[in-house]
Amino acid sequence: MTTAVAAPFRFFSLQVLRTRRLGPSSVRVTFGGEDLHAFRSDGCDQSLSLFLPHPGQREPAVPCELGDNWWQAWRELPDGVRAVMRSYTLRSLRREPDEPCEIDIDFVLHTPAGPASRWAARAGAGDRVLLLGPAVADNRAIRFRPPADTDLTLIWGDETAVPAVSAILESLPAGARARVWLEVRDAGDIQDLATEAEAEITWLVRDADAGGGAEGSPMALDALRTAQLPPAERPYAWIAGESGCVKQLRRHLVGERGIDRRRVTFVGYWRHGLSEEQLRERE
């Protein structure tokens, strides 16, 4: 399937190759497909749209044969037929000589489970999905873009941002300085992250009764407010996760830390109390 949509993005027809449980709350799904020869991305936090089938369907229902008109036709399909669409971040792309291309996407498993979480928990080899992703390496769905003069990188993310943060850390060169906070729901979700940078990584295990949502995570705010940051003249910050928390952290970095707002990238991956469908209806 090679249908173009809006350059530099296109649909990719994929199937599950294998899965691996990363912790109590996350599973890595590896996908392959002939279309992946055209997949391109040079970003560390490449955003993707994944279309999943409903139970009983062999493949997701998306009228991608309509080209640029697919979106409206997809929305008009019945709820029980229309493919489930969710936004994810690419964890990794493997493109080896003489080997089929593969991509990894890490899924957060929720309780109670939503449709994507249920699909990921049961995914098996051969399951088919559709991906709307980049055919051009540098595209607008990449947000991590530190200025060339950055002398300190500040990163915060919740469990939904761990894949992007992992890729970001892998990309940082030796000698780069980074201060990282990652907030997860279970100590079993803590991962060993590889990097050549001089990175101090703090894992925060969230109390299930700690609250959060629209007012942000108290643990995240407290961790950043009390942190002693190394001196830097040109810091860059990347924060991603629950929308309310991200906004609070951005206000702290700009208003209390004095970081230039143009050097703070903030991305709301989800919003407390709202499904992705409800979020899209508000856009």
pLDDT at 267: 96
pLDDT at 218: 76
pLDDT at 283: 47
**pLDDT tens, 191-204?**
999 999 999 999 99
pLDDT at 277: 61
Q: Which of these, 234, 242, 239, 236, lies nearest to 250 by C-alpha position? A: 239
Q: For the chain, which domains are there?
A: 9-134 (2.40.30.10), 152-270 (3.40.50.80)
pLDDT at 5: 46
CB neighbours of residue 238 within 10 Å: 26
Q: What are the b/e assignments for 32-68, b being 16+ CB within 10 Å? A: bbebbeebbbebbbbbbbbbbbeeeeeebbbbbeeee
pLDDT at 53: 96
Burial tier of 156 (Cβ tally within 10 Å: 0-12, 13-18, 19+): buried
For the chain, residues with pLDDT lower than 70 are: 1-7, 208-217, 273-283
Tokens 């894992």, residue located: 203
pLDDT at 71: 94
Burial tier of 220 (Cβ tally within 10 Å: 0-12, 13-18, 19+): buried
